[in-house]
Amino acid sequence: MRKIAVFGVSGRMGQMLVQQVDADPGATLSAAVERAAHDWVGQDLGQAGATLSAAVERTAHDWVGQDLGQATGGGPRGLVVTDDIDAALAASDVVIDFTAPHATVALAARAADAGVGHVIGTTGFDDDDLVALAEIGTRGHIVRAGNMSLGVNLLVTLARQVASALGEDYDIEIIEAHHRHKVDAPSGTALMLGEAVAEGRGVSLADMADRGRDGITGARREGAIGFHAIRGGDFIGEHDVIFAGPGERVTLRHVASDRALFARGALRAAMWLEGRGPGEYSMLDVLNLNGR
């Protein structure tokens, strides 16, 4: 049995992860982790816990010390929600983490030191965070992806191939739509797609990204990779990659209709990490789309 800890258990993704672990005969929930109350005081809610929905009236620290089953509105299950990270790591083979960037980077270092695998679904990292995770990946066991779904990772592969095949007279625009509570933009998935098309073109995304247009912007920059973020309602996640050329357009599209698909992908990554050497892997590795 693969012993799995879920961090950010009070959030929507955290609760879905618990359901997926419970449903898998090869996995067992070893720890359910949330933040202590003092970690939240004085913080912006989005920064303190990006997984929380505005519909959740109580804060995550209310869960600490409660039986997980009762905290989620059911009967007792004999597992108490904890804020003791070291105890959770000691009880686990791998942790799954859809929380916030600063918390994820700190957890990654502690998981690596404890020899525990770390599946990261958190998005919104800055450049310093990514450098830190890459360094931790030299000694830890990490799967990090802006999106855990099979379909999206296939889309990433296709986007790279199409960008490589089409010349610069095909303009690339990436459009993404998410629910009104999402705190980062562009989405992690949109950035994955941007990196893929930049790699297909043989350019740097940092050099070619165009993340917003307003006012008199002038003509479109040659070779730019455009990003557009829609926020509203209850979109789970929609992503389009448009290649607009002379006389034709090619559009690659993915629509998520069930948020549980991200939890299923994360659990698949957690199971895949068993026996792997140190490294910062992606879902392309998990799905054998990277050839390694």
Active site residues: 178, 182
Number of Cβ atoms within 10 Å of the Cβ of 218: 7
Backbone angles phi, psi at 253, to 5 degrees: -140, 145
CA gap 266, 122 in Å, rounded: 11
266 and 17 Cβ atoms separated by less than 8 Å: yes
CA gap 138, 115 in Å, rounded: 12
CA gap 23, 1 in Å, rounded: 13
Three-state DSSP class for residue 178: strand
What 3 state SS string does 257-270 have? CCCHHHHHHHHHHH
What 3 state SS string does 118-169 have? EEECCCCCCHHHHHHHHHHCCCCEEEECCCCCHHHHHHHHHHHHHHHHCCCC
Backbone angles phi, psi at 13, to 5 degrees: -70, -40
Where b means 16+ CB within 10 Å and e means fewer, 2-27 reads bbbbbbbbbbbbbbbbbebbeebeeb
Counting beta carbons within 10 angstroms of the beta carbon of residue 142, is it exposed (0 to 12), middle (13 to 18) or buried (19 or more)? buried
Handedness of CA 9, 14, 19, 24 (dihedral sign): negative
Residue type, 286: V
